[in-house]
Structure 1
Amino acid sequence: MDRSVVEQARHEYWDRRKRPAVSDKGVVTSQHFAATQAGIAVLEEGGNAVDAAVTTALTLQTAEPWMSGLGACGYMLVVEPDGSVECIEFTGRLPAKMDMDVYAEKGDGSAYFNGNAISKNDANVRGFLSVAIPGCVRGFSAALDRHGTIPFARALRPALDRARAGMEVDWHTSLTIALGQPEMRRDTGMQAIFQPDGKIPWPGMRLAMPQLAQTLERLTEVGPEDFYTGQIARDLVADLQENGNGITLEDLADYQPLIYDAIPFDFAGHVIHTPGHTSGGHRLRAALGMFEERHGAGPDGPEFFAQMARALREAYAGDKPLAPPAETDAKGSTTQINAVDATGRMVAITFTLFNRFGAYALSPRTGVLLNNGMAWYDPRPGRAASMIPKAYAHSNMCPVAITGAGRSHAVLGASGGNMIVPALAQIVALHLSAGLDVEDALMRPRMDAGAGPGIIANVDMSDAEIAALEEIAPVRPAQAEVMHRPFASPAMIGRRAEAFVGMPDISYPAAHAAALERNA
């Protein structure tokens, strides 16, 4: 491809860089600096990486509420200093009883970006009908009980303080709300919070969150079980059922996160760990296995990316049980948190409302922004992701842990729907096979391949790298930018000699990595 054609995909000229956080005491990364700082404060108080990661995750609902919150679902990997890795899976779940007439296939052949059929009236995509049982409150509570040192109330404190003060609006918040304005106006609760007076908020304004603040205060006083069996549960179910959703109090009480040893596989002299079969881990393992067989250790460059593209395309093509995904996810809402403490305990959390602003439905009694997790399921029977009562959701999320020599080595993850696994596969291989430092691996321009028929190449890749990709499939050049996002948004913490180094996503404006007692 001629460089002049590649440059036509460039919209601007400026360097996107993020400062790495380096320390032998502890590091936290997230997609918003306020949440990262909340996690670091926990480490400063003597908490561990699990305490810091959960606090960071809970704080994000007051900084980027379109990404996550109490209504979200996801995965958490906890890596002990000795290299053992546990997964806490708190994905969405279906209720015990469902009216399949409500969720019947639309019948026009339309499919969601993940390949699932869309229900009639978009019932599994948008609005109260699209809400699945959320898992993050019990998931994070279980993590603190099993591995943490602080109570749930302490982890909630920064989120509660920020909800009471109201969320400060920056330019990216204004843009995100503007993009969701049409859908938001269908829900009076959402419009009241995010479009006061019916207008898109300007940077510098504060958005009041009184109902959410009350819910967070009750969770602080009564405990996380209230979300599933107490007054919050009753309020949440009342809001859902008044708007047609069949989730019951029994469904909430019955929800439990899944806790198990993460799935290990060998790669480049290390062990890679992923969540179980509902995650994108099976695709990642397949892609890295084929890449190592064909390329092995060696520098990044044209051959590196060509073999990685082939491996990713074959991994997606061979994934027969799941529906074939569309090329990109333009409305995803996933977020990534990583943490490490002085002992080498590491944590990676990937969780989400699924779409940006989830279901575009806000529980008026609780102030909780709800997920549209029903879109993780297919209304057609006989599929891996079919709508079966009490089924846990399949997704592209895939936090990753790397261990070796009897200790933790790195954690990473990404947001970006179908683009998550391709990004993580490249970063793992850049770090372990090509020998790039964490900072260099995250800064390296890369491509996206696997989910769609072609390959998307970053305009900052070399001409030789793009030419090598063109021999495999049609290539579309794209620039990494804030909006829209043609590539995933990864973050990583790993080792640099005897210290830890953390890198946030370099394209997300507020993303930040912070260190405890940062060293040079």
Structure 2
Amino acid sequence: MSNFSTTQKISKQLVTSRGGIVAAQHRTAAEVGAAILAAGGDAIDAAIATSFAVGVVEPWMSGPAGGGAMVIWREAEKKAYTLFFGMRSPKALDPNDYPLDGSGRSSDLFPWKTVADDRNVQGATAIAVPGTVAGMELAHQRFAKLSWKALLQPAAALAQKGMLVDWYGSMLIASAARDLAKDADCAAQFLDDGTWPIMSGWTASEKRRLNQKTLAATLERLADKGPRDFYEGDIAAAMVGDVQAKGGCLSLDDLATYRAELRDTIEVPYRGGVVHAAQGLTAGPNIAECFAMMEGAFTPGDAPDGVSYGEMAKALNATYQRRLREMGDCDAPHAPSCTTHFSVVDRDGNMVAVTQTLLSIFGSKVMSPSTGLMMNNGIMWFDPEPGKPNSLAADKGCLMNICPVIGKTADGRQFAVGASGGRKILPAVLNLSSFIADFGMDLEEAFHQPRIDCSGSGKITADEDLAPEVIAALSDIAPTSTTKRTILPFDFACPSAVMRCNGINSGMTEPVSPWADAAIEPVA
């Protein structure tokens, strides 16, 4: 039961072109990436530019002070790579500074036992060592064509102008206003009078923009001085000074010694094709397990049915049991996350799937006032109880839910896909990959096909638009509830994807997301 109209239908059109395409959770960021393609950049150039731009226009989702991973397909080499830039706990972190308070379970992403004053969830004590800039640095060094400065200038220009606050932005700010008010710098950025969410007026003439000029100056310096300034220069010193002044233990040594890693992918044969999943502390190993289980479990028919959805649910249940037991991740299925995903394909067939995050919405709810950067709360990824696979410790990598993949079907179509949405990411990516590889769907068909979520709770959430016989089949496997796809919460994650078939590229984003869009490379 819900309050929503049963007759309203929300849809998006497939974007196609012989030129490159960027599909992102914010239209402006996608357009920045598409413009880089038009200026002679390749898919990596566009991904780097989009990464910094999206951190400006949806600053609660990701940014330079976050982390993530990408999967890259290099068409000339016929080779895929994982580029991992996940966050780490600071070297000076002391687990004893995060005592359990015995009051119950955390209300944020992960149902860990609560820590005194939520020190692992919010505030400077929740900040981990960021990796996003190092990830883009390594991508630029290995694969990019254009200069570092050229790729960061669009983001700096967007920050100088300031993010436009529309109804959707106002809604997301309002969702975290109580916590944002606890940090004076966040309050000044996002709230009126330190209390009320900044909102545009009722008419088109009353548009509001965030004041992001400090962030603009940081991005301009980063563009001029290069990525190491974030880890070893003035930006690093300012950021560390701000975090330590607010009680965190992030140090200059943490930043100076951080490096992103370039690795092979997990290569999974599937239905005569192949899927390349991310290595490292991601959900890549889990989606690989799901594909292996599903391939032998059913023979695809003309369209998804109770059998295919059921076997997908069984695979997700099995892999999540292992993930939660052995990998230590245990996050709540309906809490908001502040991850973003974008996918890129260029005219030569190179592809990139990038997922980056601050973890919770608005991260630690702490801003570095000297840099204008929203800081992550990566420490929350760790279980505060000792003796667990993912227990909190110093200088330790964070286990993330992100799951960017690049695949090729038996008929030769190539696709790059990923999503935001915490523990819902893996099910969303698996749903879409199955629709494409098992049933021959294009991106428009796949993104409008009803999805299921099955992410470790022992229950199944099904789109209410699924046929009754499918829901009945799912109910035979596990307790099943139905819900409508809406903008808040994203019960089925928020994906973005691109595809290439016979030299024609296409792009698609989550239909119910009001900001997400696919942008085409302008062609003269």
Q: Answer whether TM exceeds 0.5 for this pair.
A: yes
Q: Corresponding residue for 1:99?
A: 94
Superposed CA offset, 1:365-417 (max 9, x none): 11100000001112223333222322111011010011468988111000111
Q: CA deviation at 1:120?
A: 2.2
1:1-150 equivalence runs, <5 A: 8-9=1-2, 11-12=4-5, 13-81=7-75, 82-111=77-106, 113-150=109-146
Superposed CA offset, 1:115-135 (max 9, x none): 544432211111111000000
Q: Distance in 2 between matches of 1:231 and 1:28?
A: 32
Please tell me the root mean square deviation across aligned C-alpha atoms, in Å. 1.9
Query: Are the aligned partners of 2:80 and 2:264 in contact in 1 as well (CA < 8 Å)?
Result: yes
Q: CA deviation at 1:481?
A: 0.3
Q: Distance in 2 between matches of 1:435 and 1:138?
A: 37
Given the superposition, is the C-alpha separation of residues 286 and 109 from structure 1 closer, same or farther in structure 2, using an over 3 Å criterion? farther
Give the 3-state SS of the residue equivalent to 1:501 in structure 2: strand
Q: Partner letter of residue 498 of structure 1?
A: G
Q: Distance in 2 between matches of 1:128 and 1:115?
A: 20
Q: CA deviation at 1:168?
A: 1.1
TM-score by length of 1: 0.95
Q: Distance in 1 between matches of 2:101 and 2:9?
A: 45
Give the 3-state SS of the residue equivalent to 2:16 in structure 1: strand
**Selected match of 1:165 from 161, 173, 183:** 161
Q: CA deviation at 1:277?
A: 3.8
Given the superposition, is the C-alpha separation of residues 17 and 116 from structure 1 closer, same or farther in structure 2, using an over 3 Å criterion? same
Q: Corresponding residue for 2:187?
A: 191
Q: Distance in 1 between matches of 2:409 and 2:311?
A: 25
Q: Partner letter of residue 306 of structure 1?
A: G
**Selected match of 1:155 from 118, 135, 151:** 151
Q: CA deviation at 1:509?
A: 0.6
Given the superposition, is the C-alpha separation of residues 373 and 408 from structure 1 closer, same or farther in structure 2, using an over 3 Å criterion? farther
Give the 3-state SS of the residue equivalent to 1:38 in structure 2: helix
Superposed CA offset, 1:280-338 (max 9, x none): 11221112211111113333112111111111111112332133635514220110111
Q: Distance in 2 between matches of 1:396 and 1:196?
A: 34
1:408-447 equivalence runs, <5 A: 409-447=414-452
Give the 3-state SS of the residue equivalent to 1:398 in structure 2: coil
**Selected match of 1:377 from 382, 385, 403:** 382
Give the 3-state SS of the residue equivalent to 1:18 in structure 2: coil
Q: Corresponding residue for 2:204?
A: none
1:314-463 equivalence runs, <5 A: 314-319=318-323, 320-323=325-328, 325-403=330-408, 409-463=414-468
Superposed CA offset, 1:118-160 (max 9, x none): 4322111111110000000111011011101112211111111
1:202-213 equivalence runs, <5 A: 202-203=199-200, 204-213=207-216
Give the 3-state SS of the residue equivalent to 1:318 in structure 2: helix
Q: Distance in 2 between matches of 1:318 and 1:172?
A: 37
Q: Corresponding residue for 1:4?
A: none
Query: Are the aligned partners of 1:226 and 1:233 in contact in 2 as well (CA < 8 Å)?
Result: yes
**Selected match of 2:313 from 309, 312, 315:** 309
Superposed CA offset, 1:13-72 (max 9, x none): 422212222112211110111001100100111110000111111101221111011111
Query: Are the aligned partners of 1:29 and 1:514 in contact in 2 as well (CA < 8 Å)?
Result: yes
Q: Distance in 2 between matches of 1:78 and 1:486?
A: 28
Q: Distance in 1 between matches of 2:384 and 2:518?
A: 40
Query: Are the aligned partners of 1:10 and 1:459 in contact in 2 as well (CA < 8 Å)?
Result: no
Q: Corresponding residue for 1:297?
A: 300
Superposed CA offset, 1:141-186 (max 9, x none): 1101110111221111111111111211111011111111100110
Give the 3-state SS of the residue equivalent to 2:477 in structure 1: coil
TM-score by length of 2: 0.94
Q: Distance in 2 between matches of 1:345 and 1:406?
A: 18
Q: Partner letter of residue 71 of structure 1?
A: A
Q: CA deviation at 1:450?
A: 3.2
Q: CA deviation at 1:10?
A: 6.0
1:472-483 equivalence runs, <5 A: 472-483=477-488
Give the 3-state SS of the residue equivalent to 1:101 in structure 2: helix
Give the 3-state SS of the residue equivalent to 2:199 in structure 1: coil
Q: Corresponding residue for 2:507?
A: 502
**Selected match of 1:230 from 228, 233, 252:** 233
Query: Are the aligned partners of 1:115 and 1:323 in contact in 2 as well (CA < 8 Å)?
Result: no
Superposed CA offset, 1:234-286 (max 9, x none): 11111111122111111110111121111111111111111124101122111
Q: Corresponding residue for 1:265?
A: 268
Q: Distance in 2 between matches of 1:194 and 1:113?
A: 22
Q: Corresponding residue for 1:240?
A: 243
Q: Corresponding residue for 2:476?
A: 471
**Selected match of 2:198 from 198, 201, 205:** 201
Aligned length: 512
Superposed CA offset, 1:462-513 (max 9, x none): 1111111111111111000011221111111112343111111212111000
Q: Distance in 2 between matches of 1:389 and 1:407?
A: 45
Q: Distance in 2 between matches of 1:405 and 1:295?
A: 17
